[in-house]
Chain A
Amino acid sequence: MRGGLLHLLLPVFFALSLFLGPYGFINPFSHGLGAFVLELRLLRALAASLVGLALAASGSGLQALLKNPLADPYILGVSSGAALGVLAAIAAGFVWPLAVSLSALLGGLAALALVMAVSSALGLTRTSMVLAGVALSYALSSIDMIIMMDLGPAVQGSLAWMFGTVAYALWGELAYAAPLMAAGAAWIFLRAGHLESLMLGDDVAESMGVRARRLRAEVAVASALSTSAAVAVAGPVGFVGLVAPWIARLGSGGAFRRIYPLSLSLGASLTVAADLASRFVEPGGMAPLTSITALMGAPVLVYLLARWRG
């Protein structure tokens, strides 16, 4: 019952996001510049919702799959790969937003392909996936640093991307990224029963007909799809993918099938709220979405943990 109420957060924050901003309150029926700013706010709120949803889906799926409560969407190296794609594009001179976001998407998927290839050779076990992902993340991050040093002043512009923002979202980006995010999240939903059985133990799940190896491959690909698309739109927004499943788990309780939709909704709410806050924390500049989601999400998580303990 309480979980149902938490779903209400999304429409509330979405509506606030349309009405509040440095431009002021906008009459929905106005024309001209006000209408344009309203459209930009709508675009931002939509992008934030989708990104939060996609990252929460990916985080939930990976936490269940890897049986690791600290798993986040980037544990398989997707964000480092996306960053490499973006930096390579900027260094090569492809600075148009669509080119940048496509490079992020391709970079993330390529990183996953590499991790899956390495992990496959090692039996596609949970451990091999995590180790391959972490190793690739470190390797790619160091390459990213080298490229960033070489970029000179443009590095400041790429830093904006690194911290995550939906302020520069475009309808064209959403047009191609939204289906990918939705597809990844839906795919994980279709496997929700399998993931829930996985929580009973690998051998128990196998006895119920769950092919663990195949499930790992599927969920990894689905999660990388939605994560890469989210990173393509907003850059690597951290913390949402880690904390939304946790708030769902602690706030509502229950097994995977029950908390998955709630974690999607909470992920979207958190990101929209963070985007809204970022307009006021540093008006005119850019407050990184990652920091704000962390600042907002961490106290909630600590509170829930404390209440659960007590």
Chain B
Amino acid sequence: MTWTHRERIMAALNHEEPDRVPIDFGGAEFTTITLAGYEKLKKYMGVDTPTDVMSIIHTCAHPAEEILNRFDVDTRNVQPGPYEGGVDHWIDDNTYVDIFNVLWKRTEKAVDQHFLHQDGPFHGGKLTIDQVEEYDWPDGKNPGLVKGVRERVEQIKANGDHAVCLYLPGGVIHRGYAMRGFESYLKDLYKQPEALQRLMDKLCDFWCDTAESMIEAAGPENVDIIYFGEDLGTQDSCMFDPDTIYKEYLKPRHRRMVELVKGLTNNEAKVCYHCCGSAYQFIPHLLDIGVDALNPVQVTAKQMEPERLKEAFGDRLTFWGGINTQQTLPFGTPEEVVAETKRIINILGKGGGYILNSVHNIQAEVPPENIVAMFETGVAHRYH
């Protein structure tokens, strides 16, 4: 049997073993490569296709089709286009205001630095329900978001049967941090829970509206994976209590989002949730709301050892990522990368349920030899 890319991905997501481990590269903003890393990779591979920027804020690239084909990548990305008529604008090369009126900055000193939010419409003072209600919210059904989506999906279908990965940015936590400020948002869980929940609902509405128009534009039958998420973990712990704060305030909104996209795709599409850091204690909640896969599987974070994850959740959850970007990829030799990639495939890929990718975006200092070693190990892999 010859497997198509799509079949390979869907088999893994259905906990079956395809011919080889499926590979993702560039399916979403957090499974790709930073711009400086990408330039080095292009040079190493002799690719001179102009760089297609996936996100300026996250400073990452859409890998060129030529590179995706070289690594036999099974996914293809679809994501919203630029918002039309929003308040977003550039102040200078390193300062940007987005459609939520959040000010983003980066430092000029570092290589490949991404942007961080510095100010937003609800920073400072006490957050009130009126303030949230009266705010001039952007429209999740803005026509710019869906522009070119149908053409992109048709192009993917025409070029080979790849799995369509629909990346839907945002959610109710990170955009909330950006608009309200990280510390204020977390303190408002105690101080202004009503107003904060109103903010979460407004953000959830925007996400759901975007999801609806994107799925409609792509054609529900063409969407294989819905990718979204926001971090719940830190390197060594949880960002907040999984069984109180997450369960009470955030999980109901995440459930609404997952149930919406599953319903719109007739329960055919799989949902991949992105959560950096120690996600372990949140996994039962994510499974409960219908999440099928977890990315990026930060194996160096607490309780995130691949053996532990596979043992506890391997029959229900697909792991997407897992190749160590904090140690092996940047600092190892190609031989060490090959060994680590094989180790992860053997543990997380047993019985399917694993999609090969780095933990988060490949960073600027990762030697191109190591990137090639990781993907070629995946391409050469055989289940039987």
A joins B in a complex: no
